[in-house]
Amino acid sequence: MKKALCLWCLAAALLCFHGCASKPASEPLSQQTSQVTAPAEHGPALEGSARKEREGAITEEDLAKAAERRRAAEEAMKAAGLQDIYFDFDSYAIRSEALPTLQKLALWLSRNQSVKLKVEGYCDERGTTEYNLALGEKRAEAAVDYLRKEGVSAARMKAVSYGKEAPVDPGHTEEAWAKNRRAHFAAQ
């Protein structure tokens, strides 16, 4: 048990190192954004179409980099074993088996302060659209609440429900339904 904990600490430390290493790449990016968009906003000196072009190009590059950063963070989360947590039918109570995942996630977030988290709530297809959308919100918020109690700042987290509108498994079996009753953690 102690050994496992040590291993986790090691893994977390490595991840932290990884996070730090990727930080310089992300910080200048945000500076770059503000530098470039600021004159675009206040500078009508540039000709309309040219400005548009420049803006467009930079936004695209921006988006690509942001997507890249998100992908890297997601991969890191995956590597850290930070997977989805699952719920019982028509329930938004966190199951006990989900607690280790949430604790691990809280620890990981504490060491990757640049990462913002989108917590997505999902439901299986055996429910009605509107109620499931509210249920998914409750599931996502239940996970956010737990993470907050573990010390993650609420400002870094956002809950978004997808109800039964975007199932990860399109199947119609017990197994598929169980997979779809989940909260998913996406790095932003």
Partner 1 sequence: MSRLRWCVMLIALVFAAHLAEAKVYLDVYGQSYKKVTIAVPPFASEGGQRPEISDLLGQDLDMSGFFVVAPHSLMDKELLSEGVEKRSIRFEQWRSLGAELLCKALVEEKDNIFSLEASLYDTSDGTLLFAKRYRAASPDWRRVVHRLADEIILTVTGEKGIMSSRILFAAGEARHRDVYVADLDGQGIRKLSNHNDIVVSPSVSPDGKYLAFTSYREGKPNLYVIDLATNREVYVDRQEGMKVGSNWMDRRTLAYGHTLGKFSTLYALNVETRERTVLLRKEGILASPAFSPDKSKMAFVSDMYGGPNVFVKDMATGEIKRLTYFGNYNTSPAFSPKGDLIAFVSKTEGALEICVMRPDGSDARVLSDGGVNDSPQFSPCGRYILYSSLQGRKSSIRLMLYNGENKRELKFTGKDETQPKFMP
Helices 48-79 & 2-42, crossing angle to 10 degrees? 180
Distance between CA atoms of residues 72 and 88, nearest Å = 31
Which one of 68, 125, 150, 169 is in contact with partner 1 (CB under 8 A)? 125
CB of 172 to partner 1, least distance (A): 8
Binders of partner 1: how many residues, by CB under 8 A? 25
CA atoms within 13 A on the CB side of 168: 16
174 sits near partner 1 (criterion: CB under 8 A)? no
CB of 127 to partner 1, least distance (A): 7
166 sits near partner 1 (criterion: CB under 8 A)? yes
Helix H, strand E, coil C: the string for 82-121 is: CCCEECCCCCCCCCHHHHHHHHHHHHHHHHCCCCCEEEEE
CB of 153 to partner 1, least distance (A): 15
CB 77 within 8 A of CB 18: no
Closer CB to partner 1, 19 or 121, in the complex: 121
Report angle CA 82, 7, 22 to the nearest 5 degrees.
55
74 sits near partner 1 (criterion: CB under 8 A)? no
149 sits near partner 1 (criterion: CB under 8 A)? no
Residues 6+ apart with CB under 8 A from 180: 122, 123, 124, 125, 164, 167, 168, 169
CB of 25 to partner 1, least distance (A): 24
65 sits near partner 1 (criterion: CB under 8 A)? no
Which one of 41, 47, 97, 130 is in contact with partner 1 (CB under 8 A)? 130
Distance between CA atoms of residues 138 and 163, nearest Å = 10
Binding marks (x or -) toward partner 1, 77..116, rule CB under 8 A? -------------x--------------------------
Name the site residues for partner 1 (rule: CB under 8 A).
90, 125-131, 133-138, 141, 158-163, 165-166, 170, 172
